[in-house]
Amino acid sequence: MTTGTAWARAGLVLAAVLAADQVTKVLVRNALAVGERREILGPLDLVRVNNDGIAFGFLGGGQAVVAIAVAAALVGLIVYFVLNAGRPLVWLPTGLLLGGALGNVFDRLRDGVVTDFLRLPHWPAFNVADMAITAGVIALVFSLDADRGH
């Protein structure tokens, strides 16, 4: 695969994740007040939470630390992709991770907090961006492992 094709594919995944994330957050912000909860399917609840930390509220209230951590992660990911764009499937985790990170960054810039809205029992609330970041990390680990021939 050419580097240009890898960039295009990563960009498409990024755009799809970002659009899905932002649309779902708008729907939730329009339908629920902060703290409001609705049952949707079995153990999955819809609940609106304002998260001022990073993953699952970690570093809540530390906006400067959060901004530095997110910026460092994004720069590191972009550098990795620039150096490895020709590797098979590396575009997928890159698009997932960038799309998810940017979805949450846009929330922080606009609202000062991230809108989380899905909750499972005994698990903090999360959103589409968080799901993309988690899937991106898993896909990145698998792509790295595939490179080693395992």
Residue 91 corresponds to which amino acid? W
- Residue with structure tokens 């960009």? 11
Please identify which of the residues 45, 130, 145, 147 carries the catalytic annotation.
130
Q: Which two tokens stand for residue 44?
A: 């999955």
Q: Distance (Å, rounded) from C-alpha 115 to C-alpha 50? A: 5
Q: Is 147 marked active-site?
A: no
Residues 21, 107, 111, 116: which is the catalytic one? Answer: 116
Is residue 116 flagged as an active site residue?
yes
The residues, ordered by sequence, that sit 6+ positions from 88 with a Cβ below 8 Å of its Cβ are 1, 143, 146
Q: Which residues are catalytic?
A: 116, 130
